[in-house]
Chains A and B, each alone.
Chain A
């Protein structure tokens, strides 16, 4: 009896007949607002009969809205304006998609690259890799067992062993392929190992040497660090340019993929997309690779699959909004298994109420010196722990309506006079927005912040005594990397958790093949990067070097390799 509603929704979903399953086509390429007016969204119905709703109060997801490509309805043959034949179709022109398209093309396949937006998403500066050429030449010996162990531990052992082991074993090979593509490109992109700072930031977790960077690329501005948008855009531009010129690749921008095509036995044989406002069908004989990224720009999907506290009080730092989970939905619709909910989000601390505290991050000396307090002037987390953990603690405060504040004094701002002066100048804007308060003493700052009498003064005194003793009796922060508060000016800067991406997705095997719920590969279907899963649980573990871009490169490469040549 209590199953009847679920049965109905399952049937509705499969037949694509119910009101909630018909994506309203808005005379555009996208069905952006399709799910808006439905009492129950397609994201909640996607599991069909076996849904077990976990009781949680929904939040509102205040983040940006991207244009949705996925359409949950039967598109009949008569609606198809054109058909194309390719060996491989890649959905998404971000890093995973470009690497996949280039690898398949280099291996001789005829490839179409479908990108929904005018440009593929490029937001990153560094990426995880093990034993690539540049790392080998620099004599870097990654402790692979330690890296694997930390990936498993960070996922609370909720993941399978194959995907992450493959990442550790094959990311170097994939990085070397990417390097070959940069050598073909025009930008002169240089990959080099990311220098390791041995004991900073001290997260309480091992520091693992397994990351590469692009900072040595000629022509990048000097202060390029923390400019992920800038670096990523350059890298994606270069790879996209190489793809466009490749004789085996046809690139189609502003062309959202909307659904997969399967044959009678469930094999994926193509993909339907929308080009110039018309449906096109791409028939593939070797595979479709979903490289469509996460769903950080789809508020409804965020609400369906994430913990409410992870998004309700967060800000967003994600300038490319093609990431609306289309690949997840297309895969689920053909029977793919997905990471269990709640999904993992990539969240950082140091968020402003709008985005990331970019000027503050550039000017505060060693971001790790500050203390964090809530509206009551009390600490609630060890401040040297990994970003995602501070975010979680901040979000926990927010569930009770409490804001978080970074506490620092003028001795913790850069020692470089120029940077110091810039910081002080940028504080004016922050003060005007109500994000920064200051005082000539802890007492004055306490009054300015309207913290209960004595709390902030006590917190600072206690913190200083912890520094003196070398032990943080409350949160076990490593006090070696803390500084006592003894400046002339005291500041409190409003601090949010900020969302960069979502990182859970379709379950894949070590070749990037998408698996169904029985663990069998769905023929002809692959997923890579943030559209794929079985890598993270809980949060994105920011303290492990660059696994998000590292995974995207590795499985873009491996899925293309497998699609073209088999195992």
Chain B
């Protein structure tokens, strides 16, 4: 294993800290999950809770050659290319491919 998945903070603690920050207050319309992720903007932070690049790749290994976390072009890549906090902002694969893993795998 290249990367350890042990989170330094529990999600609960992290969300508590964030909820009490100005950032969370400003975005009052956000859902609970949204607020929980506020301030988590870098790949390093993502992996603190969600596990390493490899672990994420394994979680989506059933997508075969369409596995976005370990593509045929070579993994692994920074989470923030596609994810912004808890949202998938863009699917880079779909920029060039008709991204339908279920059909093509």
- Given A64-B77, A317-B96, A358-B96, the answer on whether A28 and B3 have CB atoms closer than 8 Å is yes
Cβ contacts B37-56/A at 8 Å (1 or 0 each): 00000111001000011000
Q: Give the docked Cα–Cα distance between A193 and B19 (Å).
A: 64
Tell me if A118 counts as interface (CB < 8 A to partner B): yes
Q: Separation in Å of the B50 CB from the closest CB of chain A?
A: 13
Cβ contacts B71-105/A at 8 Å (1 or 0 each): 11111111011000000000010011000000000
> In the complex, which residues of chain B have a beta carbon less than 8 angstroms from the beta carbon of A317?
96
Of A262-270, A319-327, A328-336, A504-512, the segment with at least 4 beta carbons within 8 Å of chain B is A319-327
Instruction: Report whether A64 and B92 are in contact in the complex, using a CB–CB cutoff of 8 Å.
Output: yes
Q: Give the docked Cα–Cα distance between A199 and B1 (Å).
A: 55
> In the complex, which residues of chain B have a beta carbon less than 8 angstroms from the beta carbon of A66?
77-78
Of A29-37, A74-82, A395-403, the segment with at least 4 beta carbons within 8 Å of chain B is A29-37
**In residues 55-101 of chain A, which contact B (Cβ within 8 Å)?**
64-67
Q: Give the docked Cα–Cα distance between A233 and B97 (Å).
A: 15
> In the complex, which residues of chain A have a beta carbon less than 8 angstroms from the beta carbon of B53?
28
**In residues 98-122 of chain A, which contact B (Cβ within 8 Å)?**
117-122
Instruction: Report whether B78 and A67 are in contact in the complex, using a CB–CB cutoff of 8 Å.
Output: yes
Q: Which residue of B lies closest to A255 (CB)?
A: B2
Q: Give the docked Cα–Cα distance between A355 and B95 (Å).
A: 6
Instruction: Report whether B75 and A118 are in contact in the complex, using a CB–CB cutoff of 8 Å.
Output: yes
Q: Give the docked Cα–Cα distance between A364 and B43 (Å).
A: 40
Q: Separation in Å of the A120 CB from the closest CB of chain B?
A: 7
Q: Give the docked Cα–Cα distance between A516 and B42 (Å).
A: 36
Tell me if A123 counts as interface (CB < 8 A to partner B): yes
Instruction: Report whether A319 and B96 are in contact in the complex, using a CB–CB cutoff of 8 Å.
Output: yes
Tell me if A254 counts as interface (CB < 8 A to partner B): yes
> In the complex, which residues of chain B have a beta carbon less than 8 angstroms from the beta carbon of A39?
none
Cβ contacts A216-229/B at 8 Å (1 or 0 each): 00000000000001
> In the complex, which residues of chain B have a beta carbon less than 8 angstroms from the beta carbon of A297?
77
Q: Give the docked Cα–Cα distance between A196 and B47 (Å).
A: 50
Q: Give the docked Cα–Cα distance between A276 and B95 (Å).
A: 32
Tell me if A535 counts as interface (CB < 8 A to partner B): no
Tell me if B4 counts as interface (CB < 8 A to partner A): yes
- Given A27-B44, A65-B80, A277-B3, the answer on whether A119 and B96 have CB atoms closer than 8 Å is no
- Given A26-B44, A27-B44, A33-B43, the answer on whether A117 and B76 have CB atoms closer than 8 Å is yes
Tell me if A450 counts as interface (CB < 8 A to partner B): no
Q: Give the docked Cα–Cα distance between A65 and B46 (Å).
A: 15
**In residues 25-67 of chain B, which contact A (Cβ within 8 Å)?**
42-44, 47, 52-53
Instruction: Report whether B74 and A121 are in contact in the complex, using a CB–CB cutoff of 8 Å.
Output: yes
Tell me if A354 counts as interface (CB < 8 A to partner B): yes
Q: Using a Cβ–Cβ cut-off of 8 Å, how many residues does chain A contribute to the interface with B?
A: 34
> In the complex, which residues of chain A have a beta carbon less than 8 angstroms from the beta carbon of B81?
64-65, 321
> In the complex, which residues of chain A have a beta carbon less than 8 angstroms from the beta carbon of B92?
64, 319
> In the complex, which residues of chain A have a beta carbon less than 8 angstroms from the beta carbon of B96?
229, 317, 319, 355-356, 358
Partner of A118, one of B3, B4, B74, B78: B74
Q: Give the docked Cα–Cα distance between A319 and B70 (Å).
A: 12
Q: Give the docked Cα–Cα distance between A233 and B53 (Å).
A: 22
Q: Which residue of A lies closest to B80 (CB)?
A: A65
Q: Give the docked Cα–Cα distance between A437 and B30 (Å).
A: 36
Instruction: Report whether A320 and B73 are in contact in the complex, using a CB–CB cutoff of 8 Å.
Output: yes
> In the complex, which residues of chain A have a beta carbon less than 8 angstroms from the beta carbon of B43?
26, 32-33
> In the complex, which residues of chain A have a beta carbon less than 8 angstroms from the beta carbon of B75?
117-119
Q: Give the docked Cα–Cα distance between A123 and B43 (Å).
A: 26
Partner of B44, one of A32, A64, A229: A32
Q: Give the docked Cα–Cα distance between A464 and B30 (Å).
A: 55
> In the complex, which residues of chain B have a beta carbon less than 8 angstroms from the beta carbon of A117?
74-76
> In the complex, which residues of chain B have a beta carbon less than 8 angstroms from the beta carbon of A352?
95
Partner of B2, one of A29, A320, A355: A29
Instruction: Report whether B77 and A67 are in contact in the complex, using a CB–CB cutoff of 8 Å.
Output: yes
Instruction: Report whether B2 and A276 are in contact in the complex, using a CB–CB cutoff of 8 Å.
Output: yes
- Given A28-B53, A117-B75, A319-B96, the answer on whether A36 and B2 have CB atoms closer than 8 Å is no
Q: Separation in Å of the B94 CB from the closest CB of chain A?
A: 8
Instruction: Report whether B42 and A321 are in contact in the complex, using a CB–CB cutoff of 8 Å.
Output: no
> In the complex, which residues of chain A have a beta carbon less than 8 angstroms from the beta carbon of B72?
119, 233
> In the complex, which residues of chain A have a beta carbon less than 8 angstroms from the beta carbon of B76?
67, 117-118
Q: Give the docked Cα–Cα distance between A26 and B4 (Å).
A: 11
> In the complex, which residues of chain B have a beta carbon less than 8 angstroms from the beta carbon of A65?
77-78, 80-81
Q: Separation in Å of the B6 CB from the closest CB of chain A?
A: 10
Q: List 7 A-B contacts (CB under 8 A).
A: A27-B44, A28-B3, A28-B47, A67-B78, A117-B75, A121-B74, A233-B72
* Besides the known contacts A32-B44, A33-B42, A358-B96, 15 further A-B residue pairs in the complex with CB atoms under 8 A apart: A26-B44, A29-B3, A32-B43, A33-B44, A64-B92, A65-B77, A66-B77, A118-B70, A120-B74, A123-B73, A276-B1, A319-B92, A320-B73, A321-B74, A356-B96
Chain B contacts to A: CB under 8 angstroms: 1-4, 42-44, 47, 52-53, 70-78, 80-81, 92, 95-96
**Closest 3 pairs between A and B when the two form their complex, measured CB to CB:** A117-B74, A119-B74, A319-B73
